[in-house]
Amino acid sequence: MYEMGRGQTMTTLFTDIQQFTTWRNEIPKHDTVGFVPTMGALHGGHISLMQRARSECDHVVVSIYVNALQFNSLNDFSKYPRTESVDFELCAQVGVDSVLVPLQSDMFISDSPNLLSPSKEAEAFEGTDRPGHFSGVVTVVDRLFAVVQPTAAYFGLKDYQQVAVIRNMATTLHPRIDIRPCDTMRETDGLAMSSRNRFLTETARASAGLIPLALSTAIAHWRNGCRDASEVTAIARSIFDRDASIELQYLSIVKDGTMDQVEAVSERDSIIAAVVIDGIRLIDNMQFSNA
List interacting residues with ligand AMP (CB under 6 A): 38-39, 45-46, 48-49, 155-156, 158-159, 182, 184-185, 192-195
Find the shortest distance in angstroms from Cβ 133 to ligand AMP.
12
Please say which residue, 24 or 52, places its beta carbon nearer to ligand AMP. 52
Please say which residue, 58 or 183, places its beta carbon nearer to ligand AMP. 183
Find the shortest distance in angstroms from Cβ 31 to ligand AMP.
23
As a whole number of angstroms, the distance between CA 118 and CA 197 comes to 28
As a whole number of angstroms, the distance between CA 2 and CA 16 comes to 11
Find the shortest distance in angstroms from Cβ 80 to ligand AMP.
9
For residue 28, count other CB atoms closer than 10 A to its CB.
Answer: 7
Q: Give strand ranges (E) for the chain.
A: 2-6, 9-14, 33-38, 59-64, 98-100, 152-156, 178-182, 246-254, 270-277, 280-287
DSSP state for residue 149 in the 8-state scheme: -
Degrees to nearest 5, angle at CA 130 with 78 and 66? 35
Active-site annotation, residues: 46
Find the shortest distance in angstroms from Cβ 179 to ligand AMP.
10
> For the chain, how many residues are written?
291
Please say which residue, 153 or 235, places its beta carbon nearer to ligand AMP. 153
Find the shortest distance in angstroms from Cβ 187 to ligand AMP.
9
**133-148 vs 160-173: helix axis angle to the nearest 10?**
50
Report the sign of the C-alpha dihedral through residues 265, 194, 119, 73, in that order.
positive
Please say which residue, 140 or 253, places its beta carbon nearer to ligand AMP. 140
Please say which residue, 67 or 235, places its beta carbon nearer to ligand AMP. 67
DSSP string, 243-257: -TTEEEEEEEEE-TT
